[in-house]
Structure 1
Amino acid sequence: MSAGRTVVLGRGFPLELRLLSALLQRKRLARAVALGALLLHLGSLLHSLQGKYWVYSRASQLRNDVVIFINTVSDLLLVSVNVLGLLPLLGSPFLLELLRFCTAPLEVLGPSRACSPWINLLRFGPLLPIVTGGWLFSRNAGWASYQYFLGRQVWYYVMNLVVCAFICAALQLKWQFTRINDFLGRRGGASAAQLQLVAARFSGLCNLLDEFNRTFKALMVLVVMCVTGSVLHNCTSLIEYAAKPKGAAVKLATFLTQPLFALTTVGQAAVVAFVGEGLEEEGERTTRICFTLLNQLDHAQGKSEPLVARELRFILEHSRARKICLHAGGFFRLNWGILGSITSTVATYSIVIIQFLLK
């Protein structure tokens, strides 16, 4: 496989990966887009923070210091996720290397998958609360006030696209491990030459996964923090503006939008956890298959069987020694356990916030 091979993704690949691969093969354009996105985020953040304080100072029924603080922290986390997500996606050649590797053919493994239908749900799901909340807010408060809250809606959707691109890239790695496991499970009688090719592929895939975790470590940490902060913001707004007498329009808008935003955000975290859990299961599956095949081998028969056993042991040692999972260094692993951690954190802080809001 040539390191400089042009990557051309078919229509079956996610739109996010097709756009990123096209941009990354035009380095100047990719850097310009990254710089433009950075400046737009910083400019809109300053505009939003300044305008929100002006709106809160004029609307006494909306003003609450706890809500303002949590909203500000949540906004900062959203912008941080987008900046630290777009910079490695657009400024690092790693994603292009990953796509070159995943699209390189290997006949013994058969065709690879390109996209998952669940990506469309992740891509378009957040539009429902964004459009609903935007329409209600602009209708009741007018553009003069809504313009300062529009930035958060845009950041939220950009974060969703960044997470979507991250998941699409992680799925490409997962499906490569799935192909190798399917080959090993389906063809226990594979030749030593075939297993040598597969073992080399497996080693390269493990190296790519290590680089993937290093490249997106900061993004994974911030996504978990941002999900926690966003759900806390939704819970705080729901308690303050729906549980207290703030007016019918405010109560209706809060009841309709905040639960939708919370469910969408938790859904994003669930999809990330699902992909991470699936990748971890593929690593465990590799270990089980290799143990089974090695136990079935009779080393006394056939000259090629010691070579087959050597390649199987090579794959087995890699599957046990390498971390085949999505992880942020020593912080955490992205699997179903992370949802429990987020839920526990939100529940703990919500109890404290309720005491401040309802006293």
Structure 2
Amino acid sequence: MQTYLVGGAVRDQLLDYPYHERDWVVVGATPQDLLDQGYQQVGKDFPVFLHPESKEEYALARKERKSGTGYHGFICDFGPEVTLEEDLQRRDLTINAMAQDTEGHIVDPYGGQRDLQQRRLRHVSEAFSEDPLRVLRVARFAARYKHLGFRVADDTLALMQHISASGELATLSAERLWVEMARALGERDPGEFFRVLKNCGALPALFDGWDTALSDALLSTLDQALDLGVEARFALSASDMGHSQCRSLCDRLKVPNQASNLALHCARLLPLCKLPDADEALAMLESLDYLRRPEVLGEFLQVARHRGLPSQAAETLARAADALRSITAQALMEQGYKGKALGEALREQRRDTLQRLLSR
């Protein structure tokens, strides 16, 4: 039985790039061999085990055979007869198909080190085209390593175009699409993720119309939005869509509520927020639920700044929200207001306060 460090940890060590997880492959062993050593089995489709002390994942070497459509359409073969080279061959990119033995020697049967040196994202084999999820994974790696000079190899891009045209992207679950997109949005150059997907025809295959809504200028803005979190970056990426198209996108991808709500706010309200009048500003703040969820307004204004809202306008709206929160119904109730009259008086006070702030 032999154990090898594989995948991202090997790649990022060679790049001198930070990494946080380590994955291992075990060659020449059976599931019982690992169970006898105290490993805990967690895999269902194929045996994956947790180390008894480190809790890192150890997988038995395996091969895959295409058996259907989508990224679930595979049969996995594992056992002590499967070699390390066979296990590495099933991986997506050459830079992810390297291993390191216990003495630190690199096993690189498919030219991963050469592709690291040449800053190239290249597929391991023609089997790449059997898994549509790899289109998004390659785009995500492009977003992670663009600043280091990496680009997708021409022949790999051609395979990605073939997958996009085949219709297999439609077999990917919405949940899996969002996981890959959220990871990409957290990378160094998230705009590159969308550029690669546009270049290979994947964006219109995933959601019709998104490719036209993502202009070159918007993608450049997205790359520069280093202060934004994943939810805000998603909202920024969808900010040139109409409200109904943005809702369709969020429904298609089953985007989590926090991200989808912010994206919908931005799609509807960004065109209105450049120093609006008092009535428009109050309606906007109420739509953003500024009283109960001040953090939503903060994220919205962050996105709005990247879309060209002047800092003065953003600061004015933030100050206005703070001022309006101090206007409570209690003081008006003490003056004798109640019922419908109380609501009207409260709204009028807030409107007057906004008018004074906006006119400065």
Which gives a bigger RCO, structure 1 or 2 (Cα 8 Å, sep 6+)? 1
When Rg is computed on C-alpha atoms for both structures, the one with the higher figure is 2
- Structure having the higher strand fraction is 2
Q: Please, what TM-score do these two structures have when normalized by structure 1?
A: 0.22
- Structure having the higher helix fraction is 1
